[in-house]
Amino acid sequence: MKAVRQWLFAAEAVNDKKSIVDEPDVYPVHSLDRMAEYQKFVATVMYFNDALDADMLNASLVKLLETGDWKKLGGRLKKDVNGRLQLHVPPRFSAEQPAVAYTHECLTEMKISDHPVAKSLPTHTHVPSLQPLPERGALRTLQVRPDFPASLDDLMAEDLPPLSLHVHTFQDATVVGLSWPHLLMDGVGRSALMKSWSLVMAGQEDKVPPVAGAHHDVLSGLPAGASDQDEFFANKGLLRGVRLAKVLLYWGWAKLAGPGKVIRSMYLPKEIYDMLVGGIKEQVSQVQGQTGTKRYISESDAITAWVTRQVALSEPRPRPVTIMSLFNGRYALKQHLNPDAVYLQNMVLINYTTLSAEEARDAVAPLALACKAQLSEQTSESRALGFIQWISKRVDKTKHTVPLCGGEDSVLLCCNSLIRADLIRETRFAPAVLRAGEAAETRRNPAGSMINFFYGLPNEPTQFINGFNILGKDHSGGTWFAGNLAPQVWEALEYEVKQLGEGKSSS
């Protein structure tokens, strides 16, 4: 352990020497990364029930960013003569030009339970639980430093590194805030970052995978995909012009007049989660046996259908529902990507599931099958390629690139599943543990691993549309969720899982 610490901090000290090379290494910002929707900051809060060495966290992250094309993440955002964004990596990271904007709040005289904000972070429970998150402004103090840039323009004007590491160390816990402009990477890229950061921290730099496509966008050289993307969006009810204006006006009125959405986290222990997902899959099998259809329903499919149904049932009158779900293109384009490399870029695609009021309020099994039927078409290689190429043609021409689909009267639900990214279990910070926090007899996770994480947009107001995220599984097999839903939806979900706990599923 001592050798690892000396190696990390010695490497950091070398960075303070002046470089004799003046020219930066310039990386392009790829086409999907240039989407207007990605020119916002993402910030995550990771909760560890151990006291970690904050300086070691920073030193190992810096060391990673000195490895091959991982240094792209330390580049300064600039614009070229055509106004396109680029990342300019300093010849050598130094105190004047650090790889990471690092700040540390050392609060080791207090326990996390005594901190006015961190004490409210959700934690695992032995029974299903709905837990509030700290208010947005309070949570921001754990995500980012007080002088965090308000926009990309501020980041560029101050010539700051895009990655920000903001650590609070307590007597018995550590809260790690990590933020970056969304244009740097998506959730799968972040998972690779966490895994590689952990490897460097453990002195296993030789196991860090190389970064592919840093200088050349792998998505730009792919074969042609579906050519009917405009027609496809039209069939999904693409909103534009007067129809889009009506929807935006309706949303504005609903925000002012209707009941507000509430941000909550939800934790389901493994037994309850397995009962919920297993029960839905069993119902799906029964329906498929009656209809002769065969379609695979994943955990995420089952949970999305379950939540969608409760959102639909919570409306005062039956309304159609549009599910806007995120899908990582890496999974559809495997044969075009290097399986042994990391792609630090955005490959997230958007799928639209349009449901009638009757379909959205149906039993959960037919609903899951109806959703899957629409998703299967959109996650094919041809359709994924078509979507990428459709976006790429428009990314530098329009203010908002992401199309919005659905009926004018539809309820919109945005869903995202990070189960496959496995962010909680891929993060292993054991080498940085200074003191164990939670006692061995009560803890359910290995030393240096996180309890959970939550993410959001630190500079943006809370969204007023329905949103639900499956964050992933923890080390005990339980599953974490977070969302922005109406109070009555949360109450319905809570009731359902409590019924499961009592062996009385009401689905």
Ranking 5-19, 247-261, 352-366, 454-468 by mean pLDDT, the lowest is 5-19
Mean pLDDT for 472-476 is 96
Contact 413, 467 (CB under 8 A): yes
- 409 band by pLDDT with thresholds 50, 70 and 90: confident
User: What are the angstrom distances between the C-alpha of 284 and each of 279, 281, 470?
Assistant: 9, 5, 21
Q: What's the rounded Cα separation, in Å, for the pair 294 and 289? A: 8
What pLDDT does residue 507 have? 47
Output the 3-class SS for 396-435.
CCCCCCCCCECCCCCEEEEEEECCCCCHHHHCCCHHHEEE
What pLDDT does residue 314 have? 94
Mean pLDDT for 420-428 is 96
- 414 band by pLDDT with thresholds 50, 70 and 90: very high
Q: Is the pLDDT of residue 247 over 80?
A: no
Every domain range in the chain assigned CATH 3.30.559.10: 2-219, 222-450+461-501
Q: Tell me, what amino acid is at 262? A: V
pLDDT per position as a tens digit, 50-81? 999 999 999 999 999 999 999 999 999 999 99
Q: Is the pLDDT of residue 497 over 80?
A: yes
Provide the 3-class DSSP secondary structure of residue 95: coil
pLDDT per position as a tens digit, 275-327? 999 999 999 999 998 887 888 999 999 999 999 999 999 999 999 999 999 99
| 16: CB partners within 8 A, 6+ apart | 94, 95
What pLDDT does residue 98 have? 98
What pLDDT does residue 274 have? 96
What pLDDT does residue 275 have? 96
* Per-residue tokens: 70: 């991982």
Q: Is the pLDDT of residue 249 over 90?
A: no
* Per-residue tokens: 396: 């530098």
Helices (H), 65-186: 136-143, 152-157
Ranking 175-184, 412-421, 437-446 by mean pLDDT, the lowest is 437-446
Contact 275, 506 (CB under 8 A): no
Q: Is the pLDDT of residue 232 over 50?
A: yes
What integer best gives the mean pLDDT of the chain? 91
Pick the CATH number of 222-450+461-501 from 2.30.30.100, 3.30.559.10, 3.40.50.10860, 3.40.190.290: 3.30.559.10
Q: Is the pLDDT of residue 160 over 70?
A: yes
User: What are the angstrom distances between the C-alpha of 179 and each of 100, 197, 447?
Assistant: 10, 15, 24
% pLDDT > 90, the chain = 76
Contact 34, 395 (CB under 8 A): yes
What pLDDT does residue 212 have? 97
Ranking 335-349, 411-425, 462-476 by mean pLDDT, the lowest is 462-476
245 vs 452 pLDDT, higher one: 452
Q: What's the rounded Cα separation, in Å, for the pair 314 and 259? A: 12
| 301: CB partners within 8 A, 6+ apart | 368, 371, 372, 375
- 5 band by pLDDT with thresholds 50, 70 and 90: low
| 373: CB partners within 8 A, 6+ apart | 295
Q: Tell me, what amino acid is at 484? A: N
Contact 168, 118 (CB under 8 A): yes
CATH number of 2-219: 3.30.559.10
What pLDDT does residue 259 have? 62
Q: Is the pLDDT of residue 2 over 90?
A: no
Contact 345, 32 (CB under 8 A): yes
Phi-psi region of 382 (alpha: psi -120 to 50; beta: other; left: phi over 0): alpha
Mean pLDDT for 390-394 is 90
What pLDDT does residue 54 have? 98
pLDDT per position as a tens digit, 339-349? 999 999 999 99
466 vs 254 pLDDT, higher one: 466
What pLDDT does residue 19 have? 44
What pLDDT does residue 216 have? 96
What pLDDT does residue 17 have? 44
Beta bridge partners of 419: none
Q: Is the pLDDT of residue 416 over 70?
A: yes
Question: Which residue, 389, 411, 410, is CA-closest to 401?
Answer: 389
Mean pLDDT for 194-199 is 98
Contact 418, 42 (CB under 8 A): no
